[in-house]
Amino acid sequence: MTNTLDRTAPTDAPILDVLSARWSTRAYDSTTPIDESALASALEAARWSPSAYNNQPWRFIVARRGTEAHDAIVASMVEFNQAWAAPAAALIVFVAETSRDGRQFPTAFYDLGQAAAHFTVQAHSDGLFTHQLTGFDPEAVRASFDLPAELTPFTVMAVGAPGTIEDAPEASRDGEKAPRLRRPAAESVLVNA
């Protein structure tokens, strides 16, 4: 069996170890339950992320493997994502609250992204692996959880103990071993005056 844990990124400048070591696996251990303490800390980190006007427009649907909620989220996914995400110990739907009391939140999705990033970094720091996906049907999730119009399911995050390459679906195994690549930081900076 091949371990997939050490995939530290080559960086152009020094960054925190938790950031260079974080990566999105598609190989989850299908038997290890979610570490409840680590999950609580990840949700707490998300709670303390910044938001415009302190609106905190993030909501989370937390579904543990073996529950009807987990099954409903898996059913909403495209087939490729079902193959690798279903074994994860938990699935978290990140939901944006786009309005409240008639007031629109134009930064809701940006703020939700910050909450997801804080969740991801804390989870990784505590030994959980995460992978976000957008290949799911938000309206199916809305119906399954009876969400009102102002709550928009935006992304799903698989969370759990990492598996081995052999735990990943065969179509994903090459990606689990491939070098981690990003364009150079200088190519992302439009102006550096």
pLDDT in tens, 92-102: 999 999 999 99
Residue with tokens 């930081």: 185
pTM score > 0.75 for this model?
A: yes
> 178 or 33: which carries more pLDDT confidence?
33
Tokens of 139: 């309206």
48 inside domain: yes
- Give which of 91, 92, 90, 85 is closest to 169, Cα–Cα: 85
17 inside domain: no
Range of the domain at 130: 35-168
Q: Residue 131 above 90 pLDDT?
A: yes
160 inside domain: yes
- Give which of 50, 47, 44 is closest to 107, Cα–Cα: 50
9 inside domain: no
- Cα separation, 184 vs 161, whole angstroms: 30
70 inside domain: yes
pLDDT in the model for residue 3 = 47
CATH of the domain at 71: 3.40.109.10
- Count of the separate structural domains present in the chain: 1
94 inside domain: yes
Tell me, rounded to whole angstroms, the distance of Cα 190 from its chain centroid: 27
**DSSP character string of 153-181:** EEEEEEEE-B-BGGGS-GGGHHHHHSPP-
Backbone angles phi, psi at 83, to 5 degrees: -60, -40
189 inside domain: no
Name the band, by pLDDT with cuts 50, 70 and 90, for residue 6.
low
23 inside domain: no
Write the pLDDT tens digit of every residue in 72-129. Answer: 999 999 999 999 999 999 999 999 999 999 999 999 999 999 999 999 999 999 999 9
Write the pLDDT tens digit of every residue in 10-43. Answer: 888 887 888 877 877 888 999 999 999 999 999 9
Name the band, by pLDDT with cuts 50, 70 and 90, for residue 171.
confident
